[in-house]
Amino acid sequence: MIVIAHRLQTVLNADQIVVLDGRGGIEATGSHADLLSFSPTYQRFWSEKNASLGWRVDVGN
């Protein structure tokens, strides 16, 4: 099965994650732990995701 996801929580338990480089190529493949070790793109996505966990949008009246 192939899953395309922008929410990183969706892919945490995947056997193989493919990180695209934005130019149509593959930057890296591996498990979540592997990619945290050697994929700059995955590391950045993961850091940004974790930094935004407490964010909230308030709508003014």
Q: Where are the alpha helices (DSSP H) in the chain?
A: 32-38, 40-51
- Give the domain range for residue 20: 8-52
**Within-domain flag for 2:** no
Q: Tell me, what's the pLDDT at 8?
A: 74
Q: How far apart are CA 45 and CA 5, in angstroms?
A: 12
**Within-domain flag for 3:** no
**Within-domain flag for 40:** yes
Q: For residue range 2-52, what is the model confidence (pLDDT) as tens digits?
A: 788 777 778 888 889 999 888 989 999 999 999 999 999 999 988 888 787
Q: Tell me, what's the pLDDT at 61?
A: 65
* 26-56 b/e (C-beta count within 10 Å ≥ 16 → b): ebbebeeeebeeebeebeeebeeeeeeeeee
Q: Tell me, what's the pLDDT at 18?
A: 92
**Within-domain flag for 15:** yes
Count structural domains, the chain. Answer: 1
**Within-domain flag for 61:** no
**Within-domain flag for 59:** no
Q: How far apart are CA 22 and CA 15, in angstroms?
A: 22
**Within-domain flag for 57:** no
